Amino acid sequence: MKVYPTSGIRNIALVGHGGTGKTSLAEAMIYSTGALKRMGKVDDGNTVADFLPEEAKKKITISTALVPCEYRDCKINILDTPGYADFYFEVAGAMRVVDSMLLMFSATAGLEVQTQIAWEDYPQVPKIAFINKMERENADFYKVLSEMKETFSDIIVPLQLPIGTAESFKGIVDLIKMKAYIFEAGGKMSEQEIPADMMDDVETYKLEVIEAAAEANDELLSKYLEGEELSDAEIVAGIKAAAVAGSAVFVFCGSAINSMGVTQLMDFMVDCSPTPDHNQLLAGKDIEKEPFSAQVFKTIADPYIGRLNMFRVFTGKMKADSPVYNSTKEKEEKITQLLVMTGKEQSPVPELNAGDIAAVAKLSITGTSDTLCTKSNPVVMDAIAFPEPSLSMAIEPKSKGDEDKLSGALQRLIEEDPTIKVHKDTETRQTILKTMGDTHMDIVIDKLARKFGVDVVSKEMKIPYRETIRGTVEVEGKHKKQSGGHGQYGHVWIKFEPFEDGVFAFEENVFGGSVPKNFFPAVEKGLQEALEEGVLAGYPVTNIKATLYDGSYHSVDSSEMAFKMAAKLAFKKGVEAAKPVLLEPIVNVEVEIPETYMGDIIGDLNSKRGRVLGMEPVGKKQLVKAQVPLSEMARYTIDLKSITQGRGKFKMEVDHYEEVPGQDAEKIIAKAKQEREEK
């Protein structure tokens, strides 16, 4: 692949709900350039963009793929992004490095959730829209167009109208050239006059095109308002200005799987889409003359070739076999080869100009979001904001000896997926894996087995319950043992009572030396060790105060160990007698949702023993604040997705502990007892 100048580069993200045909469109685009002799299909698992085994298996896009199309002396860098909520973080990475986005719509399904979310999440990014699947039964271009106009505040203008629909879909009317184009075999088209029965619609939408073009240019607007007619050249200039500025969203239609309408869309990308120097992050800069800077937006971890970092050159020029400075990590790296990715295929290039997107292998410390630049002109670009994972699950290797292997594999996966989080819960002794959802979780577990040879099993995440006391008691603990030679003797009286100001407090109030001072630390240590396992279900004990006030000792047989054992005996006896109760962690939850779902969300939180604390508007959405037991939130990611059709998001953090209601406590205690017996 040749080196392209900045003016000859277009960076466009394909974004939309799963199943709208993004991957098929990317395939059709590269096929139309002649780079492919045969067009692959998602259902056959042989497309350029969906090359991962998991993608071929599930027939969905899981990971953003770069598909550069060389067309009319331009390089259109297409980033094909996933359309499912669990992998939406891939959109965040892609959006950092593109200059515009192409939003995909299904002519049968209409406006779908992930398309709407992406449109609304990036209001400043210039957009074009493609209504796909016009060949399908029940396809309705005008219905989808109407939904778009009703939902979004943008100026939305079709540049094409379909001729026919479903099986009779055969061409488009070009509202700029005012001609009809009929699709023929081999991707060719024949130009014809516009069908007479379409002229009313054509004239209506042509007026919208002229108005959108005029509004993008003050000179054209003045001319238009004064009643003068705009020439075709002026209309095209106005459309380009509107497309570059993002002041209007232009709509196209076709059938990606049949390569209908694809070259017209690519013509618009070349003629009207923003070039890299129009990127919002580069306002006011001459990006070709600025010193070199680039940012990594995606990392691929391969067990054989190591890391592969995908990046965009934002300013200056990048050359192979040259040093770069990682300003994020403050270390130098050596670039050997620069690789242009086409799906999984790699082609070396000697250099890259400002605005281009490529990859580099085997950098030692560089990861996603890192900035690469020159050491003499260091800059650090803002980190890419990836969403936080919300579904947690405990995992462990099937083979007991694979703990280290699992740890290494997880670290490699974290390098390529910034939304995976892993931590070892010291209390429950479980390895906790956090992902964006259940499908994401399945993919991660599949990758561990396929890429790194580590089979894991998932288990229910244990809730870190606590135990405490509600009553006050005074108890005796005596440890006495005689077995020849020195015996063991420790004897204490301890008062146990609730303590709200912390986990544990120890005091001594011994008079007359009944327990010598040198044994006080042993008594305290014995109690602290006893805190680790309560009497109800074996959970740690908290919020308890112990006061040593009496006891006795033996001048020969007493020892620190004996007093430690006596303290443990007193603890068990005391906690059993002091009205022990089970405590559960309560989390603060913030749920952001469209107002439509408010009633359903509040009802669901109430069913989870939650307390709704309040609501407040956040932009066009509502933020519901509540406190809910952690045990009820294990699958909330899935529940929320189901209730809101993927439009809601939430975050939570442990706030405090509260007593578990009687019936629930009995179940937890019975389950813990059964687990202990099984062990």
Number of helices (H), then strands (E), in the chain: 16, 34
E strand or H helix that includes residue 525: helix 520-530
Q: Tell me what the mean pLDDT of segment 307-326 comes to.
A: 94
Per-residue pLDDT tens over the stretch 453-488: 999 999 888 999 999 999 999 999 999 987 666 789
Q: Tell me what the mean pLDDT of segment 254-269 comes to.
A: 94
CA 215 vs CA 160, 224, 238, 280, 419: distances in Å:
19, 9, 8, 21, 41
Q: Is the pLDDT of residue 186 over 90?
A: no
E strand or H helix that includes residue 53: helix 53-58
- The domains found in the chain, sorted by start residue, are 7-194+246-278 (3.40.50.300), 293-373 (2.40.30.10), 391-459 (3.30.70.870), 467-578 (3.30.230.10), 583-664 (3.30.70.240)
pLDDT of residue 35: 82
Between residues 40 and 409, the one the model is more confident about: 409
37 Cβ neighbours under 8 A, 6+ residues apart: none
- The amino acid at residue 350 is P
Contact 359, 277 (CB under 8 A): no
Per-residue pLDDT tens over the stretch 75-99: 999 999 999 999 999 999 999 999 9
Per-residue pLDDT tens over the stretch 133-152: 999 999 999 999 999 999 99
* Least confidently predicted of 52-66, 285-299, 444-458, 551-565: 52-66
Beta bridge partners of 461: none
Count CB neighbours of 579 within 10 A.
13
Q: Could you tell me where the DSSP H helices lie in 186-287?
A: 199-215, 218-225, 232-245, 262-272
Count CB neighbours of 164 within 10 A.
15
If you ran DSSP here, which 8-state letter would residue 463 be given?
P
CA 210 vs CA 266, 383, 483: distances in Å:
21, 40, 104
Q: What are phi and psi of 120, to 5 degrees?
A: -75, -25
Between residues 208 and 620, the one the model is more confident about: 208
Q: Residue 6: name the closest of 274, 237, 247, 245 by CA.
A: 274
Q: Tell me what the mean pLDDT of segment 216-232 comes to.
A: 89
Q: Tell me what the mean pLDDT of segment 519-528 comes to.
A: 96
Q: Tell me what the mean pLDDT of segment 528-548 comes to.
A: 95
d(CA 279, CA 215): 21
- The amino acid at residue 519 is F
Q: Is the pLDDT of residue 230 over 70?
A: yes
Q: Dihedral angle at the C-alpha atoms of 270, 272, 273, 276, nearest 10 degrees?
A: 80
Q: Tell me what the mean pLDDT of segment 554-570 comes to.
A: 93
Output the DSSP codes for 319-369. ESSEEEEETTTTEEEEE--EEEEETTEEEEESEE-TT-EEEEE--SS--TT
Q: Is the pLDDT of residue 127 over 90?
A: yes
Per-residue pLDDT tens over the stretch 584-618: 999 999 999 999 999 999 999 999 999 999 999 99
Q: Is the pLDDT of residue 435 over 80?
A: yes
Q: Residue 650: name the closest of 90, 124, 85 by CA.
A: 85
Q: Confidence class of residue 382 from pLDDT cuts 50, 70 and 90?
A: very high
pLDDT of residue 209: 96
Contact 493, 551 (CB under 8 A): yes
Per-residue pLDDT tens over the stretch 642-672: 999 889 999 999 999 999 998 889 999 998 8
Q: Confidence class of residue 41 from pLDDT cuts 50, 70 and 90?
A: confident
Sign of the dihedral through C-alpha 640, 644, 645, 650:
negative
pLDDT of residue 512: 84
CA 643 vs CA 53, 599, 636, 639: distances in Å:
31, 11, 10, 6
pLDDT of residue 630: 95
Q: What is the mean pLDDT of the chain?
A: 93
pLDDT of residue 46: 82
- The amino acid at residue 178 is M
Contact 371, 328 (CB under 8 A): yes
pLDDT of residue 619: 85
